[in-house]
Chain A
Amino acid sequence: MTRSTWVRLAIVVGAGAVLELLCRTGVVPRLIVIPPSEMIASGWQLLVSGVIKSDIYFSLENIAAAIALSVAGGFLTGLAIYSVPALRATLEPFLTSYSAVPPIVFYPMLIVIFGLNRTPQILIAVMFGLVPMAINTINGLHRIRPVLLKVGRVHRVSRMASVFRIQLPAAAPYVFVGVTLAVSYSVIGVISSEFILSATGIGHQISFAYDNYDNRAMYGLIALLLVIATLLNAALRRYSERLLQGRAR
């Protein structure tokens, strides 16, 4: 590990230790925050006891569906926008400002249309995740070096072979940046909508515990969710950075 990795680790552990100390000495009352060690213990107990098994599965299924839809949909959208210049000129300003309107404001309307089930939740997550995927697909295709295509043409590579053997591999690292974004946005979209209005899911369990002043369960669930999300994101990001590094050489 490099020196800066150690510094980061020290910062995270140090922040946890300071919070632990503040809670144990009563500077931060237990009614507000419980000590981090108890959060982890509570999260672990909830996980092994199986009480929230169905909620975890429900959330993970929805997140998986949202990821699949945003990655596939975003890739096809990006491809279509890249290959049709008029479409690209029309949509470019809207893509650049996609994050301006928080998709979550459409959640109430989607509930009215589809009812209170997983469909509106997945759709919100797809609205969050699809656009960054499309943007990065366009970016990846844009960055293919023309010389690669020329070499292909010199060797009389067929159109299909050019797509699958040259264009897609060349664009892959940038497209993968889009995948990492689509994953983290899908998590945010699903959990946010579960928070606001839902009958199941990790987000719903957190807000349920909040409503019942059950701090121990609430912080346990929060810790659990943060650990899941952090591991997922960190793994994807490291992989995508490795892809990009290989490309830079």
Chain B
Amino acid sequence: MKPSGAGVPPAGFTSRRRQAIYTAGFVAALVVLWEVLFLVFGQRVLTPPGATFANAWHMLAAPEFRPDIAESLRAFVIALAIAFGVGICGGLLIGSWRGCAEALEPLLVDINTVPKVALYPAILLIFGLGIWAKVVFGALHGVIPIMISSISAVRNVNPIFVRAARAMHLTRSQMLRRVWAPACVPELFTGLRLGFSLTLLGTVFGEFFASQKGIGFLLMNAIDLRNVPRITSLILILVVLAALANSALLAIDRRLHRLE
């Protein structure tokens, strides 16, 4: 995925209040659709919204699922730390060296379009069946988009800023703090938001396949047991967590871009 493909041009001026009403309406429409799907397909396929929320809450509170939830969170946090660390450092290094960036960026974009799922069995063989295979697979999804957007964040800094700073005899650390960081951060953050979502995708997928613990494992187990209430509740938990985290990140992202 190209980070440039991730944005929608804004639809002119919409007041914040109106936006909130639209959003609430859309979420309400989704819940109604869910209820309709339940009425059409019935108990065999999914549980209705109310019951699912109750059941999901119950699962989050019950001690028996706590180890799985903790395992998923731990795997995701480690994967995210690796993806952020390697992606940002690598991207900034490559980006600040022009020839290197020109040679490597297309390669990174090509690697990014490779279906990484195909590599998962190889990762399982290398890292074994524990938490590390999931972590590496999750980090692998996030690291390249972060690197690509870090490279372009550095390269898109207006050269006039740097020239002006040099003319004013800023020291290296001042230059970093007052010029480079503020100019890079908004675009860098957009990359981090994308990397967050993709790392989540990678970690969840890693738990679906050859895993013994975690939310993804519970989900696969529930399919084998044909436990429809559990399938629906787990999907709800994953969707709500992802949506909440993403809207928080999106709010920060918008704020940073407005300050530009």
A-side interface residues toward B, CB under 8 Å? 3-4, 7-8, 11-12, 31-33, 85-86, 88-97, 99-102, 104-106, 108-109, 111-113, 132, 135-136, 138-139, 142-143, 177-178, 181, 184-185, 187-188, 191-192, 195-197, 203, 206-207, 209-210, 215, 218-219, 222, 225-226, 229-230, 233-234, 237
Contacts and interface: CB of A to CB of B under 8 A. Distances in A.
Given A225-B115, A229-B115, A100 B122 contact: no
B126 interface: yes
Nearest to A202: B118
8 contacts: A92-B8, A99-B194, A104-B205, A109-B45, A139-B8, A142-B9, A181-B2, A210-B124
B228 A112 contact: yes
A178 to B, nearest CB: 7
Nearest to B222: A108
B10 interface: yes
Given A96-B6, A184-B113, 16 more contacts: A11-B104, A12-B107, A89-B14, A89-B22, A90-B23, A96-B8, A97-B247, A101-B239, A112-B226, A113-B41, A188-B115, A196-B220, A210-B210, A218-B121, A222-B118, A237-B110
Given A89-B22, A92-B10, A108-B223, A210 B121 contact: yes
A206 B222 contact: no
Contacts, number: 188
Contact of B250 (A97, A142, A222): A97
A93 B246 CA distance: 11
A112 B118 CA distance: 25
B209 A195 contact: yes
B223 A197 contact: yes
B31 to A, nearest CB: 14
A8 B226 CA distance: 49
Contacts of B23: 90, 93
B235 interface: yes
Contacts of B210: 210
Q: How large is the interface on B (under 10, 10 to 19, 20 to 34, 35 or more residues)?
A: 35 or more
B110 A233 contact: yes
Closest 7 CB pairs of A and B: A100-B246, A102-B201, A4-B103, A210-B121, A7-B103, A233-B113, A90-B22
A134 B14 CA distance: 21
Given A91-B26, A177-B2, A222 B208 contact: no
B220 to A, nearest CB: 8
Contacts of B41: 113
Contact of A113 (B11, B45, B208): B45
Contact of B122 (A12, A113, A185, A222): A222
A138 B8 contact: yes
B256 to A, nearest CB: 14
Interface string B33-44: 000000001001
Contacts of A33: 122, 125-126
